[in-house]
Each structure stands twice: as C-alpha cells, then as structure tokens.
C-alpha cells in the first residue's frame, strides 16, 4: 500500500522533473550555435547528388553543402546532378545539414553529348567528402518509416532482468512523434513477466539536429502477464507458486535519450500494474 500510493507518485514526479530540467539544459548548450545557424541563408552552386530527402550542392568556392528537403520545400519535381541551383535554407544543425525552404534551378543540367567540356568537368569533379556522405546516409536512415530493434536492461522492485524487441513506425501526426510497440520478457527470483507495450514517443529534438544526443518522452498502455512463485532450497521438493500467469493492464511513462546512430537509454515506470517493476532501466538500439 505504501509503495503504491507514496513511492510511485514520487517516482513519477521525479522522473518528469528530471526530463524537464534536462531539456532546457540541453537547449542552453546549443543555444549559441542555433542562433547563428538558424538564420536564413542562400547558396548558389551545382547539384552533386539528390534524393527525395537530401540535396548536396557544390558552391563556386568548392564547398559542399548538404540540405534536407520535405513537403514544405518549394522545388522542381526533379533535380538532376549537374544543374545549377539557388538554395534558400534555414534550421541549421551541428552535423552540417540545413533545411531547404526553396530550391530554384538557374541552369538545367547539360546532357552528355551537348558539351564536351561539361562532360569532362563532370568526370573530373571531386567526390563528395566522407563526412558529408555519412550525414546524408544517416538522414536517409532516420527517415525510414519502419525500423526494428532490440533492448535489454533491469527492473527494480521487484528485481528483474529483461530482454525485448521493438519496432518503430512513423513519424505520425508530427515529424517528432513515433509509434513504438515493444515486447519485454522479464525474469526474476520471484517474478516472471511478459509485457506487451503499446507506446508512442515524442522527440523533443531530432538526433541529427542540435547535437549527438536528443531527449524524448513517451508513454502508452501496457498488457502484462505476471507469474510469481519460488522454489525452496536445493534438495527440498516443495515448490511454492502463487498462481499461474495473471493479467494486469497498466500504463507506462518513460523518458530517455537517443543518438543519431539509433542507440538509446531509457527510464520507464509502470502505473496500475503491480507487481510490475516500479522502475526499468533500459538500453536499446534501432536498426
């Protein structure tokens, strides 16, 4: 009774305070860089590569610029390598990618047979730097609408070891909201448990914007199948079991940090589903 009505509310309040205090601190650390990088800029140059999500432009001073594009970007239906463009962008991040708001074609790409000099310069063009290419590939991976992953960790009160699998779908409704259903298999000295968690997470910021690690919040219903029992010391045959698997419906609240490579650290608490663990400490990765 004391655990349910005193410890759990305090734990939830502490968890929420931790995240709320962490998020402003995270924002303050990147505030100075965002003030300079979020200003609108204009770049003119030649398209080196383009996809549905990204455009790499080589400017006249031989600098490579990586831009992201989405449905809010005003641009032609197709962007061909070799075309000269003007790109207006905002929302810079520390990885070097910026969000393109407008892409205008100044000069169409020349065909292979229209100009020998154009063909020669295209062959002699320097390859995209590995750092730019790596960020471009990461942006494409982050934009995948369906991903799978694994997770593991420990539960406290009762003490459990857990292993699980999850999938991530989205974004849905907003580019920062993702549906992340998962299943946990948990074992302990007294308690065994299978949990099906129908959770959603909200990214406070993207892992590819503003730094390596990004905080997030989440929650959702939990379908818990719990078995409690224990055996006596070795050599004694008495086996004590409280019941078969009992079903409990609960609600999970979670907070964590995720990096741009898909690794995340998470703290989760379960409400209304005793004897599910009061706290879970989880580490996982998306693929």
- The domain of 117 spans 44-142
What one-character-per-residue DSSP string does 192-250 give? EEEEEEEEEEEESS-TTSSSSEEEEEEEEEEEEEEEEEEE-STT---EEE--SPEEEEE
Burial class (CB in 10 A: 0-12, 13-18, 19+), 273: buried
Structural domains of the chain, count: 2
Same domain, 182 and 267: yes
Last residue of a domain, one of 142, 177, 208: 142
pLDDT value, residue 261: 78
Highest mean pLDDT among 120-129, 131-140, 159-168, 234-243: 159-168
Q: What is the pLDDT of residues 193-217, one digit of tens each?
A: 999 999 999 988 766 554 578 899 9
Last residue of a domain, one of 88, 112, 142: 142
**Rounded to whole angstroms, how far apart are CA atoms 166 and 170?**
13
Last residue of a domain, one of 142, 171, 194: 142
**Rounded to whole angstroms, how far apart are CA atoms 287 and 276?**
28
* CATH classification at residue 274: 2.40.160.20
Same domain, 210 and 221: yes
Q: What is the pLDDT of residues 20-50, one digit of tens each?
A: 455 444 444 444 444 444 578 999 999 998 8
Same domain, 164 and 90: no
Same domain, 195 and 274: yes
Same domain, 137 and 194: no
In this predicted structure, the answer to whether residue 253 has a pLDDT above a threshold of 70 is yes
In this predicted structure, the answer to whether residue 143 has a pLDDT above a threshold of 80 is no
Same domain, 235 and 255: yes
- Domain assignment present for residue 63? The answer is yes
Indicate the pTM of the whole model.
0.61
Same domain, 150 and 278: yes
In this predicted structure, the answer to whether residue 70 has a pLDDT above a threshold of 70 is yes
Same domain, 78 and 185: no
Same domain, 57 and 76: yes
- Domain assignment present for residue 22? The answer is no
Same domain, 78 and 197: no
pLDDT value, residue 212: 73
In this predicted structure, the answer to whether residue 139 has a pLDDT above a threshold of 80 is no
Same domain, 138 and 149: no
In this predicted structure, the answer to whether residue 19 has a pLDDT above a threshold of 70 is no
In this predicted structure, the answer to whether residue 124 has a pLDDT above a threshold of 50 is no
Same domain, 279 and 160: yes
């Amino acid at each position: 009774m004391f655990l349910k009505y005193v410890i759990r509310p305090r734990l939830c309040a502490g968890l929420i305070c931790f995240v709320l205090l962490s998020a402003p601190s995270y924002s303050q650390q990147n505030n100075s860089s965002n003030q300079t990088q979020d200003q609108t800029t204009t770049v003119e140059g030649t398209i080196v590569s383009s996809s549905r999500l990204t455009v790499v432009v080589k400017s006249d001073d031989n600098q490579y610029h990586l831009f992201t594009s989405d449905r809010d970007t005003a641009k032609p239906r197709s962007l061909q390598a070799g075309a000269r463009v003007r790109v207006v962008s905002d929302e810079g991040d520390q990885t070097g990618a910026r969000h393109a708001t407008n892409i205008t074609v100044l000069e169409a790409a020349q065909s292979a047979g229209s100009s020998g000099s154009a063909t020669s310069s295209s062959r002699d063009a320097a390859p995209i730097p590995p750092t730019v290419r790596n960020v471009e590939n990461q942006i494409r991976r982050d934009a995948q609408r369906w991903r799978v992953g694994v997770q593991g960790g420990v539960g406290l009160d009762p003490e459990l070891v857990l292993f699980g699998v999850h999938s991530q779908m989205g974004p849905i409704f907003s580019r920062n909201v993702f549906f992340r259903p998962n299943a946990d298999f948990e074992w302990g000295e007294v308690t065994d448990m299978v949990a099906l968690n129908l959770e959603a997470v909200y990214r406070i910021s993207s892992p590819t914007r503003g730094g390596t690690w990004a905080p997030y919040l989440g929650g959702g219903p939990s379908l818990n199948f719990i078995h409690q029992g224990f055996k006596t010391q070795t050599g004694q045959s008495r086996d004590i079991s409280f019941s078969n698997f009992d079903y409990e419906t609960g609600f999970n609240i979670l907070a964590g940090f995720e990096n741009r490579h898909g690794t995340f650290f998470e703290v989760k608490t379960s409400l209304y589903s005793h004897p599910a663990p009061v706290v879970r400490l989880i580490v996982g990765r998306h693929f």
